Amino acid sequence: MPFSPSTKYRPFPPVVLPDRQWPDRVHTRAPIWCSVDLRDGNQALAQPMSVEEKLEYFELLVATGFKQIEIGFPSASQIEFDFCRRLIEENRVPSDVSLQILCQCREDLIVRSLEALRGAKNIIFHLYNSTSPKQREYVFGASRDDIKAIAMRGISWLKQHMTPLVAAGSRIRLEYSPESFTSTELDFALEICEAVTDVWQPTADNKIILNLPATVEYTTPNVHADQIEWMCRHLTRRPLTEVSLHTHNDRGTGVAATELGLLAGADRVEGTLFGNGERTGNLDIVTVALNLHTHGIETGLDFSNLTHVREVYERTTRMEVPPRQPYAGDLVFTAFSGSHQDAIKKSWPHQKPGHPWDVIYIPIDPADIGRTYKAIIRINSQSGKGGVAYILETEFGYQLPKLMHKEIGKVVNDLADRSGTELSPAEIHAAFQHEYLERPAPALTLREFRTTERGAQVTCEAELLAGGAPLPLLFTGTGNGPIDAFVRGLAATGQVPAFDVQSYNEHSLGSGAEARAVSYIQIKLADGRTLFGAGVDTNIEVASIRAIVSALNRALA
């Protein structure tokens, strides 16, 4: 920077709260959730949603489990008004869902908003006015008393004009926001909230919602928590109040500020799916809810098909969920790092049904949110041998012996280095086949292999086609089994380097009538080198012989 920031910016003042309680608390229950996607989120879109898109989005929010949904600012435009009317007139609002609308503290706007809400069963009428010192000075040129009077008049007008709706059966709750709460002096925020509560007169059956928004995120999450705890401790009618949070993400800590605000005593959270909102966005409700889920807390929100939620969100908002977005991004369950891949692969078999989730590097079971396990390990030049083995096993069924992982890992990493990009599972499979199963000429090729048994001895007849040789290599051998017989007979020809078989593994590949066998054999050459080969055949004996030929081909290459 060409200047010192201390000459241009000031530190945010701390809250004097020496006996703060929130650091010693733990989350034990989920908050009341309120989606503001259709108001706060929608107004932040370059191209706001159409009415039809809003209707689809509303249905998504209901299906997800939201019981409080802020649908817009019906006094601000005809589109917002008409959307509210369609929800009510077309009976789209379940009886346990509250419609929340936003309105400034102006009588004409309150009247217009109530017109839009006629016939709604459950209403949260959200009134707000700006309270911070700079808003008072720069925007309104008003004193504290002037700002407080605006809020109190707004509540009085609402009580006066809502009478017909209440008489017709609507249940109306008040939500009040001292906008820019976190940059308002705490004593004044308390004063105006108490004054509003005095006018509204909440009851145990109809609590007031005091929403304390971080309209702009100016400070660290711990200071936000101090502000919330201070308010919760000083409100005189706290049992009749739901304290609500509405964090933005200007410093990138909106989720943390909300989580600490809940520890500080808040009851309710406003936010949007995936954090869409003004500037850097609103609170990401998906992240907060799934964070609680991973601590064993029932959230009341259903993200078991998060891919579908994301699809509707991206289509209707024309926004994209980034690949590293917590829980929902394409890459959030993906490990490219070799050490991470190895830890995942080793911890996965220890995960038992009915036991707590404990897979290294994967904090939530992808199946909980409708994701598959296929994308957990992906391969590039930074990946390790364990990741390659994982792909070959989970995608194609090859259970490579551990000592073979290093060999195939190097083959695939060399390929990734040459390509300079991520390798797909198909490319990894092709590299495995090329290296072990389908080596091109001038390789040895097994043409025939037959065995006969006499007592404890096995005799084999084999035919190999050597690349470039005009005639096939025919030989017989006798040993204590098919592999021993083949190795002895081949060695007697003198046509291949001397070797010993070091290890042998096999398993079925697939199931049912179409199942094949795959064998892995490690050989050791006279110069001390060891190499693996692999072979596949419907006959397990032939598969093992193909594996020996595969290892020899790699030695000769």
Residues 6+ apart with CB under 8 A from 379: 336, 387, 388, 391, 412, 416, 422, 423, 428
- Chain-centroid distance, C-alpha 234: 38
Give CA angle at 341 (337, 343), nearest 5°. 120
Residue 433: burial class (beta carbons within 10 Å; 0-12, 13-18, 19+): middle
Q: What is the Cα–Cα distance from 227 to 214, expressed in whole angstroms? A: 10
The pLDDT confidence band at residue 385, using thresholds 50, 70 and 90, is low
Q: Report residue 319 as tokens.
A: 């926004």
Q: What is the Cα–Cα distance from 46 to 55, expressed in whole angstroms? A: 19
**Following DSSP, what letter does each residue of 315-331 receive, concatenated?**
HHH-----TTSTTTSTT
Whether 30 contacts 292, CB under 8 Å = yes
Give the CA distances from residue 215 to residues 124, 177, 228, 233, 312, in Å, rounded to whole numbers and listed in that order.
Answer: 20, 10, 14, 22, 27
| CATH architecture, domain defined by 445-556 | 2-Layer Sandwich (3.30)
Most confident range, picked from 123-127, 344-348, 387-391: 123-127
For CA atoms 64, 70, 76, 78, the dihedral sign is positive
Q: Is the pLDDT of residue 378 over 60?
A: no
Closest CA to 394 of 345, 334, 321, 449: 345
> 352 or 90: whose pLDDT is higher?
90
Entry field: residues in the chain: 557
Closest CA to 452 of 477, 430, 488: 477
For residue range 459-518, list pLDDT tens digits in order: 999 999 887 677 789 999 999 999 999 999 999 998 888 999 999 999 999 877 778 999
Q: Report residue 449 as tokens.
A: 């292999």
Closest CA to 520 of 378, 402, 413: 402
Domain residue ranges in the chain: 32-317, 338-437, 445-556
Q: Report residue 495 as tokens.
A: 């046509």
Residue 375: predicted pLDDT: 63
SS3 188: helix
Q: Is the pLDDT of residue 141 over 60?
A: yes
In this prediction the pTM is 0.76
Closest CA to 269 of 30, 33, 26: 33
Which ranges in 302-424 belong to alpha helices (H)?
306-317, 338-347, 385-396, 402-419
The pLDDT confidence band at residue 433, using thresholds 50, 70 and 90, is very high
Q: Report residue 441 as tokens.
A: 């000429």
Q: pLDDT over 70 for what percent of the chain?
A: 96
Residue 377: predicted pLDDT: 54
The pLDDT confidence band at residue 2, using thresholds 50, 70 and 90, is confident
Residue 82: predicted pLDDT: 95
**Following DSSP, what letter does each residue of 485-543 receive, concatenated?**
HHHHHHHHHT-S--EEEEEEEEEEES-GGG-EEEEEEEEEETTS-EEEEEEEESSHHHH
| Residue 464 CB neighbour total at 10 angstroms | 22
Q: Which helix (H) or strand (E) holds 449?
A: strand 445-454
Whether 554 contacts 521, CB under 8 Å = no
Residue 245: burial class (beta carbons within 10 Å; 0-12, 13-18, 19+): buried
Q: Report residue 504 as tokens.
A: 């042998």
The pLDDT confidence band at residue 334, using thresholds 50, 70 and 90, is confident
Q: What is the Cα–Cα distance from 116 to 140, expressed in whole angstroms? A: 29
Residue 231: predicted pLDDT: 98
DSSP state of 15: P
Superfamily of domain 32-317: Aldolase class I (3.20.20.70)
> To the nearest whole number, what is the mean pLDDT of the chain?
92
For residue range 259-306, list pLDDT tens digits in order: 999 999 999 999 999 999 999 999 999 999 999 999 999 999 999 999
For residue range 107-122, list pLDDT tens digits in order: 999 999 999 999 999 9
Whether 297 contacts 27, CB under 8 Å = yes
Residues 6+ apart with CB under 8 A from 78: none
For residue range 9-66, list pLDDT tens digits in order: 999 999 999 999 999 999 999 999 999 999 999 999 999 999 999 999 999 999 999 9
Q: What is the Cα–Cα distance from 45 to 47, expressed in whole angstroms? A: 5
Residue 6: predicted pLDDT: 87
Q: Which residues of 63-90 are buried (b: 16+ CB within 10 A; e: fewer)?
A: ebebbbbbbbbbbbeeebbebbbebbee
Tell me how far apart the terminal alpha carbons of the chain are, to the nearest angstrom. Answer: 58
Closest CA to 180 of 169, 189, 193: 189
Give the CA distances from residue 411 to residues 342, 431, 520, in Å, rounded to whole numbers and listed in that order.
Answer: 17, 8, 16
For residue range 345-371, list pLDDT tens digits in order: 788 888 888 899 998 888 999 999 998
Q: What are phi and psi of 132, to 5 degrees?
A: -70, 160
